[in-house]
């Protein structure tokens, strides 16, 4: 992004320290930036105080932007969510108050798809267990029955949510010769299916037939606990579950029970129901790979997210349409 000419006035509050280019682009546009210098989420009272005089807000998934918070910020004109997901923002409440809500689609697609594949391979091939074994000093050398995992090449991948990230995961699966099925709220166009080599199926069939289930659906009332005890009971005992979407897509208590009972082979998780709290039953398991919400954590993706948030703020405060407003509801 080219540095904008300093022509705006107004105050932007940023709720967490940002990676490069940080707030420099906002300041270059003439905006006053206030920021939480502590790398922790603000509580509701702290956030309300911070946005009392703000014209724009750059916030994170960990920030709850609801009607009460919006009422505490009467000058607010735009909420730029530093994420693709936006279930942390009451979009209807914002729009009722004339506040635009934006997100950061597209720029983190490849980073998140790569991370999904990293978790897929690490879980299927038991790399987490192997890495810990070597570090422990207890490894005694190669053995024919040691840490035998699940194959990936030529197996069936089930993708739940065929948006940009789901499609990127599918493109990567082609290199492994996988058969790919998917489920989406709306079936994608037939030419896209043909290009990706994917087949649309119902959720029951996806869970029952996939060797790997990868979650990329948005979080809403319909998708909360999409993977519950019933869904897990339908999965193969050799199947692997991967979640780089949103934590509450998975009922973690049900997942722990399914793993305890050997109903699935393992899980690779980057997101959690009550993040940053992780269900205690997952922490001590060797058949689960746990990542600390790293989906977009590449230098390029995080910098592009900063720039996109900046562009959205600048455009809205300039009286122009946002670059990436959140889509209308169903």
Say which residue the tokens 């709220």 belong to: 185
Is residue 64 pLDDT above 60, yes or no?
Answer: yes
**Position 2 in a domain:** no
Write down the pLDDT at residue 7. Answer: 72
Task: Supply the pTM of this predicted model.
Answer: 0.92
Tell whether 115 and 164 lie within a shared domain: yes
Mark whether 43 and 141 lie in a shared domain: no
Catalytic residue among 125, 126, 156, 246: 246
Does residue 260 share a domain with residue 164? yes
| pLDDT, tens only, 141-169 | 999 999 999 999 999 999 999 999 999 99
Residue 330 has pLDDT above 80, yes or no: no
Count Cβ atoms below 10 Å from residue 67 Cβ, excluding itself.
Answer: 13
Q: Which of 95, 279, 293, 307 is catalytic?
A: 293
Do 126 and 67 share a structural domain?
A: no
User: Does residue 97 lie in a domain region?
Assistant: yes
Residue 268: pLDDT band by 50, 70, 90 thresholds?
very high
Position 248 in a domain: yes
209: in domain: yes
3-state secondary structure of 82: coil
> Would you say residue 4 lies in a domain?
no
At 78, the pLDDT band (50, 70, 90 cuts) reads very high
Q: How many structural domains compose the chain? A: 2
State yes or no: pLDDT of 45 exceeds 60.
Answer: yes
Crossing angle of the two packed helices 299-317 and 109-124, in degrees rounded to 10: 150
> Is 246 marked active-site?
yes
What domain range includes position 234?
A: 109-290
Token pair listed for 107:
């720029």
257 and 231 inside one domain = yes
271/173 same-domain check:
yes
Active site residue 186: no
β-bridge partners, 81: 59
Examine the domain organization and report whether 237 and 149 are in the same domain.
yes
In a domain, 325, yes or no: no
Q: Is 231 within a domain? A: yes
The CATH number given to whatever domain includes residue 69 is: 3.40.50.720
User: Are residues 98 and 217 part of one domain?
Assistant: no
The C-alpha atoms of residue 304 and residue 108 are separated, in whole angstroms, by 8
- Compute the residue count for the chain: 330
User: CA angle, corner 52, sides to 49 and 58, nearest 5?
Assistant: 90
On whether both 124 and 153 belong to a single domain, the answer is: yes
Q: Which of 275, 279, 285, 307 is catalytic?
A: 275
The question of whether 20 is a catalytic residue gets the answer no
Query: Are 232 and 174 in the same domain?
Result: yes
Across 41-64, average pLDDT: 97
Are residues 69 and 124 both part of a single domain? no
């Amino acid at each position: 992004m080219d540095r904008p000419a300093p022509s705006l006035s107004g105050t932007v509050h940023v709720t967490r320290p940002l990676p490069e280019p940080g707030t420099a682009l906002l300041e270059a546009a003439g905006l006053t930036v206030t920021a939480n210098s502590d790398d922790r989420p603000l509580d509701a009272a702290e956030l309300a105080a911070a946005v009392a005089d703000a014209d724009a807000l750059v916030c994170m998934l960990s920030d709850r932007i609801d009607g009460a918070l919006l009422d505490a910020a009467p000058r607010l004109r735009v909420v730029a969510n530093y994420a693709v997901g936006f279930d942390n923002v009451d979009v209807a409440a914002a729009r009722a108050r004339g506040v635009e809500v934006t997100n950061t689609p597209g720029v983190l697609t490849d980073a998140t798809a790569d991370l999904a594949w990293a978790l897929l391979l690490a879980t299927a091939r038991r790399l987490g267990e192997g890495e810990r074994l070597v570090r422990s000093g207890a490894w005694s050398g190669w053995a024919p029955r040691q840490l035998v995992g699940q194959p990936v090449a030529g197996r069936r991948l089930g993708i739940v949510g065929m948006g940009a990230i789901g499609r990127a995961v599918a493109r990567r699966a082609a290199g492994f010769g996988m058969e790919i099925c998917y489920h989406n709220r709306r079936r994608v166009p037939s030419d896209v299916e043909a290009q990706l080599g994917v087949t649309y199926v119902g959720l029951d069939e996806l869970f029952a037939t996939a060797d790997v289930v990868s979650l990329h659906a948005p979080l809403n009332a319909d998708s909360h606990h999409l993977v519950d005890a019933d869904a897990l009971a339908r999965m193969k005992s050799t199947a692997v579950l991967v979640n780089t979407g949103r934590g509450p897509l998975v009922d973690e208590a049900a997942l722990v029970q399914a793993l305890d009972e050997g109903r699935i082979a393992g899980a690779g998780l980057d997101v959690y129901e009550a993040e940053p709290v992780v269900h205690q039953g997952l922490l001590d398991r060797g058949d689960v790979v746990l990542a600390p919400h790293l989906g977009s954590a590449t230098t390029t993706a995080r910098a592009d997210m900063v720039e996109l948030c900046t562009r959205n703020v600048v455009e809205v405060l300039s009286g122009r349409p946002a670059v990436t407003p959140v889509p209308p509801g169903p």
